[in-house]
Structure 1
Amino acid sequence: MIEEQNDILDSRIKLHDRHRFEIKLDMDLHDSARSSYEVETYFFVPRALNIGPHNYTKDNFYNSSQRYIRFSTPKIGLGKLCDPALKSSPLNRVRQDLSKILSGGNSAALTAAICDELRLLGCIIRGEIRDYVKIFVEGLASYAAAEPAGRRKMFVGEGLDNFFADMKNLETALLSLRGEISGPAVPLKVRETAAFFDEYVSLLLEEYLTLLLEALRANTAARTRFESVEKEAVSIVTAQSLYRQTMKYPSVLTPGSTNEVLIYRRGVLKKFMSGVLYLKAEFSEWETLTQVVFGLAAGAAMLFAVLVTLFFQSRYAMNSLPFVMALVVSYVFKDRIKDWLKMLFSKNMTRWISDRKINIIDPVSGGCIGLLKEAVTFIGGRSLPADISRLRNIDNITSIDGEGKPERVFKYKKEIVLYPGKIIKHHERRRGLNDIMRFNIRELTAQADDSFVDYPYVDTVTGEIKAAACSRVYHLNLVLKYAYLDRQARPVINYERIRIVLNKDGIVRLEEVKLV
């Protein structure tokens, strides 16, 4: 994962799968009536891939991208989730609302609230376990028993003990909650949501603790030092599969089979749980300024056709051949002029016009809490901003490197406007938003050459001619520019430079280029 930590805008770029990479923006809300962020992403595509305005349109770009807008997962420690004094804990809120139902106060609103809190609890548990395991894995990778305790990675040692202690307390609390929810007085929807939650948490423990075990066993010194931790982790992991079998949950691994049910079920559970954080996005292709500009282009083209018609009408009869030819020519050029002007406006006016607008709707209040505007266009070398050009060429070895790497450039611009006051009014714990875009590179590599090529050479020992299979790759370079106001309302601009190494079969790797 490639990360860039800023003030109120954090970005993370990572490989999602063989053909897609993901750009995730974390936006921290602060008390203001309106906050805005601008992100410009410049794609430098090798000309060898034959990508250009003639065969790669706006529709191609948007069809290759997936967008998700959601609340950030609230941060509550595993230990604090079980604290009865913490009113913001979803666990405590479930218990409070459940008590009302068991006291005869059942209602649709109360049922929905419990289900939402259970789903939110699942998201928080996943986030906390994931973050802890990530820290432990990084620490275990460089752990050395001979080093003084003060120089060892944080959270390895006492941190592991505290982590497992918190998980035990959480397990006890969830076991108690499971017993309360299983009663017949509890609505069916709550019991079904609780079953999904139970299965989901079991899978989380199995998945992340397996990663922890893998890192622990890869370091001999750490494995010797934390033998008791290893035994405890093994005990928890092995118990999860047996537990899901006992509960007759579908997510059970069957050795020797395709296990498609396990992966499918895991995806269903994850989407169900995280769905409580997702916001509704209403897409609109109708942008007033955009339509006005395109209307002016159509009007200018029509004006040309009318003037040509009037000119020839004053000199030739309407049924004459010259007049008919003039009408045909004016009609042909009218459409060409309209398309040319639309392309010209799209290319040079992306600062003011956009391809589409997305209204961000809060599912709780039903109101619009923000909007997102997008525009994409190819740009020529002379139109490339100086700061972007400098960052693109920052890793060139010589001044003529660029001549050996001809590229086409297209820019994707995104403007995000949020209304924090509207969000904070209805949400106590959800104070940040994630904008996630996944981009598929399949269309960019449609005309790529084969991934491997035979390279003939002469063996230096035997003198024989041999052939070596060499990888053929292409470099898709991205330069990202982030512009926003910090908490003191001062303008901030940050940059990122990413190299995506790809071939005909997909993405090979992501590389971060240092901006020095």
Structure 2
Amino acid sequence: MPSRHIEGKIGAHDRHQFELKLGYQLDPSLSKNKYNMELYMFIPKSLGINRATYAKRHFFGDIQSYIRFKTPFFTFDSLVDPSNKLSPLTRIKAVFNTTKDKKKLITELKLYACTVRVALRNSIIQMRKNIRKNETAPLKKDLNAACTGLTKCLDALRALQQSLWGPDVHEDVRTAYRHADEYIGIVSDGLLNSFHNTIIASNLDTNLANELSSIIKPLIISEFRHRSQLGYATYALGSENEQFLYRKSMLKKIITNILFLETHTLEGLTIAKDIIFAAAAGIAMIIFVVVSFWAGQKWRTTSMPFALALVLAYIVKDRFKDWFKIIFSRKMTRWFSDYKTNITDPATDTKIGICKHAFSFISEKNVPADILDMRRHNTPPDFWPQEETIKYEKDVLLKPRPILKTHRRLHDITDIVRFNVHQFLDRMDESYEIKRAIDPETFETKEFKCARTYHVNIILKLENEIHRFRLVLNQNGIKRIEEVPHPTLSIKDAGDTESLHFG
């Protein structure tokens, strides 16, 4: 079965978690699409992460997985175009003028909020690219277009309010409208303020920076006032703004839940373990029986040597059983997954795929040559560190036809995996060391602050592409994630500074 293309990005989610986001492109010409990902983590031995201290239950306890539809892309203009039958706004109006179906109205309101966010995010990503490339000529025009487009989308949504407050509209629909309005306002505030910070921090011409700032500020302020007037979540100086962050998080879950697929995870090795462990017990029992027969032929059954031989055989039997269990357990991930996840489309309650996960520590001799070559590229042999190697493999099988039959706008799948590194930090030394030394400029003894970091190298294999990243850690958590260049590495321009795109 041919494998399909995967795209993705890696970035820090917070100081204790990094996030791997994979995009699976669906191919309806095939009844089944298969995707494979292998992740290798090369961990310094000094961190104490090994087979004895970091079992499978620790690893799978440290990862979180989410799988959902990729948000469909619309431009601002296509979202408010009444002739665009795929636009959530057009569908809201059509449903309202006919059945007023509660479920459909709520779904389209949520999808509209998601698509407006993506339209604004993509516009800002492109403008950030232009700033980095010093292509400043289109910036003013592009920012005007983004702010105008966002305003049109907000106005179009708010124009529905009077109709939605009619007596024949369910209260749940009005609640969904308020959630969509508040969510778009909050995420737009974050994106616009973030881009405004980029404008301030960049080396743009002062006049241009001031012009861009004058375009973006009025929209930020007017939307802030809109949220304040309606009692939506806002932030304030001198406050911890706990309620704002909590509300933002809850709204994200409420709005984006229409994109998420249902998953049910089972332990993949249960039956295999039972069979293999039974075989181990059987082999151990055969050894015991053979020794018993041999001892019975050599000594009388009432003699002390016979009794000692049976005791020894019993001890050896139990030890062999345990040894076989350990050996088979280590080899099992070659043939069996540790866990498998059934993927279901909640819209139809149809199983649309399956995901299998396998984890193991592997010795250096078992690391594939291309992976080891990527790890050691441009590193002299004398500098090859002592490391433990973790392998995490994920196989995904999706059925595109039932997906595309039900969803005209949801074409691709996004798989999000978050890795928590808190257990990697336990044995780290202090994040900074103070060095007292003579300053070569002043010839005086001064204190120099030296940052201490640890490097976990990550090699990611997606089908036939291999990518390398360096996770830089200190005692406080993730400091940064770096791309490690390699002749075969293919990294896309991400358009943001927090994630590295690849694929």
Q: Distance in 1 between matches of 2:158 and 2:14?
A: 36
Identity of aligned residues (%): 32
Q: Aligned to 1:119, what secondary structure does the other structure show?
A: helix
- Alpha-carbon offset, residue 418 of structure 1: 1.0
Q: CA 1:336–1:115 in 2, change beyond 3 Å: closer, same or farther?
A: farther
Equivalent pair of 1:480/1:495 in contact (CA under 8 Å): yes
Equivalent in 104, 119, 129 of residue 110 of structure 2: 119
Q: CA 1:242–1:466 in 2, change beyond 3 Å: closer, same or farther?
A: closer
Aligned pair 1:401/2:383, yes or no?
yes
- Alpha-carbon offset, residue 10 of structure 1: 0.3
The corresponding residue for 2:482 is 511
The corresponding residue for 1:476 is 456
- Alpha-carbon offset, residue 465 of structure 1: 5.8
Q: Deviation per CA, 1:462-489, whole angstroms, max 9, x where unpaired?
A: 7666553322211101111111xxxxxx
Aligned pair 1:196/2:179, yes or no?
yes
Equivalent pair of 2:454/2:472 in contact (CA under 8 Å): yes
- Alpha-carbon offset, residue 41 of structure 1: 0.9
Q: Distance in 2 between matches of 1:35 and 1:335?
A: 45
- Alpha-carbon offset, residue 225 of structure 1: 3.8
Q: Deviation per CA, 1:43-95, whole angstroms, max 9, x where unpaired?
A: 11101112211111001100011111111111111110111111111111111
Q: Distance in 2 between matches of 1:510 and 1:93?
A: 42
Gaps of 5+ in 1: 1-5, 144-151, 484-492
**One-letter amino acid of the structure 2 residue matched with residue 12 of structure 1:** K
Equivalent in 92, 95, 98 of residue 93 of structure 2: 95
**One-letter amino acid of the structure 2 residue matched with residue 166 of structure 1:** G
- Alpha-carbon offset, residue 508 of structure 1: 1.3
Q: CA 1:461–1:431 in 2, change beyond 3 Å: closer, same or farther?
A: closer
**One-letter amino acid of the structure 2 residue matched with residue 371 of structure 1:** I
Structure 1 window deviating more from structure 2 (44-53 vs 219-228): it is: 219-228
Equivalent in 150, 155, 177 of residue 167 of structure 1: 150
- Alpha-carbon offset, residue 512 of structure 1: 0.8
Q: Deviation per CA, 1:435-461, whole angstroms, max 9, x where unpaired?
A: 111101111221222222343534547
Q: CA 1:382–1:286 in 2, change beyond 3 Å: closer, same or farther?
A: closer
Q: CA 1:460–1:201 in 2, change beyond 3 Å: closer, same or farther?
A: closer
Q: Aligned to 2:65, what secondary structure does the other structure show?
A: strand
The corresponding residue for 1:216 is 199
Q: CA 1:441–1:218 in 2, change beyond 3 Å: closer, same or farther?
A: closer
Q: Distance in 1 between matches of 2:428 and 2:182?
A: 44
Q: Deviation per CA, 1:321-343, whole angstroms, max 9, x where unpaired?
A: 65665555555544543443344
The corresponding residue for 1:270 is 252
The residue correspondences of 1:181-192 to structure 2 (distance < 5 A) are 181-192=164-175
The corresponding residue for 2:354 is 371
Q: Deviation per CA, 1:479-500, whole angstroms, max 9, x where unpaired?
A: 11111xxxxxxxxx00011111
Aligned pair 1:39/2:1, yes or no?
no
Structure 1 window deviating more from structure 2 (314-323 vs 289-298): it is: 314-323
Q: Distance in 2 between matches of 1:93 and 1:291?
A: 53
Aligned pair 1:434/2:425, yes or no?
no
Q: CA 1:319–1:95 in 2, change beyond 3 Å: closer, same or farther?
A: farther
- Alpha-carbon offset, residue 504 of structure 1: 1.8
Q: CA 1:42–1:332 in 2, change beyond 3 Å: closer, same or farther?
A: farther
The residue correspondences of 1:379-390 to structure 2 (distance < 5 A) are 379-390=362-373
**One-letter amino acid of the structure 1 residue matched with residue 424 of structure 2:** L
- Alpha-carbon offset, residue 394 of structure 1: 0.3
The corresponding residue for 1:9 is 6
- Alpha-carbon offset, residue 15 of structure 1: 0.8
- Alpha-carbon offset, residue 112 of structure 1: 1.3
Q: Distance in 2 between matches of 1:436 and 1:330?
A: 51
- Alpha-carbon offset, residue 281 of structure 1: 1.0
Equivalent pair of 1:135/1:155 in contact (CA under 8 Å): no
The corresponding residue for 2:74 is 76
**One-letter amino acid of the structure 2 residue matched with residue 22 of structure 1:** E
Aligned pair 1:414/2:394, yes or no?
yes
Q: CA 1:285–1:458 in 2, change beyond 3 Å: closer, same or farther?
A: same
Q: Distance in 2 between matches of 1:7 and 1:139?
A: 31
Q: Deviation per CA, 1:224-281, whole angstroms, max 9, x where unpaired?
A: 24756533421111112211121112x1212211110000100000111111111111
- Alpha-carbon offset, residue 308 of structure 1: 4.0
Equivalent pair of 1:454/1:469 in contact (CA under 8 Å): yes
The alignment's TM-score, normalised by the length of structure 2, stands at: 0.89
- Alpha-carbon offset, residue 389 of structure 1: 0.9
**One-letter amino acid of the structure 2 residue matched with residue 494 of structure 1:** E
**One-letter amino acid of the structure 2 residue matched with residue 137 of structure 1:** R
Aligned pair 1:133/2:116, yes or no?
no
Q: Distance in 1 between matches of 2:422 and 2:444?
A: 39
Q: CA 1:247–1:297 in 2, change beyond 3 Å: closer, same or farther?
A: same
Q: CA 1:323–1:171 in 2, change beyond 3 Å: closer, same or farther?
A: same
Q: Aligned to 1:299, what secondary structure does the other structure show?
A: helix
- Alpha-carbon offset, residue 208 of structure 1: 1.4
Q: Distance in 2 between matches of 1:326 and 1:153?
A: 87
Equivalent pair of 1:217/1:223 in contact (CA under 8 Å): no
RMSD: 2.6
Q: Aligned to 1:134, what secondary structure does the other structure show?
A: helix
- Alpha-carbon offset, residue 310 of structure 1: 4.8
Aligned pair 1:238/2:216, yes or no?
no
Q: CA 1:468–1:218 in 2, change beyond 3 Å: closer, same or farther?
A: closer
The corresponding residue for 1:21 is 18
Equivalent pair of 1:118/1:197 in contact (CA under 8 Å): yes
Equivalent in 163, 176, 179 of residue 180 of structure 1: 163
Q: Aligned to 1:213, what secondary structure does the other structure show?
A: helix
- Alpha-carbon offset, residue 344 of structure 1: 2.9
Equivalent pair of 2:62/2:419 in contact (CA under 8 Å): yes
Q: Distance in 2 between matches of 1:118 and 1:257?
A: 32
Q: Aligned to 1:350, what secondary structure does the other structure show?
A: helix
Q: Aligned to 1:400, what secondary structure does the other structure show?
A: helix
Q: Distance in 2 between matches of 1:331 and 1:467?
A: 66
The residue correspondences of 1:317-328 to structure 2 (distance < 5 A) are none
Structure 1 window deviating more from structure 2 (375-384 vs 447-456): it is: 447-456
Structure 1 window deviating more from structure 2 (362-371 vs 293-302): it is: 293-302
- Alpha-carbon offset, residue 507 of structure 1: 1.1
Gaps of 5+ in 2: 488-503
Structure 1 window deviating more from structure 2 (54-63 vs 346-355): it is: 346-355
Q: Distance in 1 between matches of 2:61 and 2:137?
A: 44
**One-letter amino acid of the structure 1 residue matched with residue 63 of structure 2:** S
**One-letter amino acid of the structure 2 residue matched with residue 304 of structure 1:** I
Structure 1 window deviating more from structure 2 (304-313 vs 203-212): it is: 304-313
The corresponding residue for 2:491 is none
Equivalent pair of 2:147/2:219 in contact (CA under 8 Å): no
Equivalent in 53, 65, 68 of residue 63 of structure 2: 65
- Alpha-carbon offset, residue 155 of structure 1: 4.8
Q: Distance in 1 between matches of 2:53 and 2:476?
A: 20
Equivalent pair of 2:4/2:24 in contact (CA under 8 Å): no
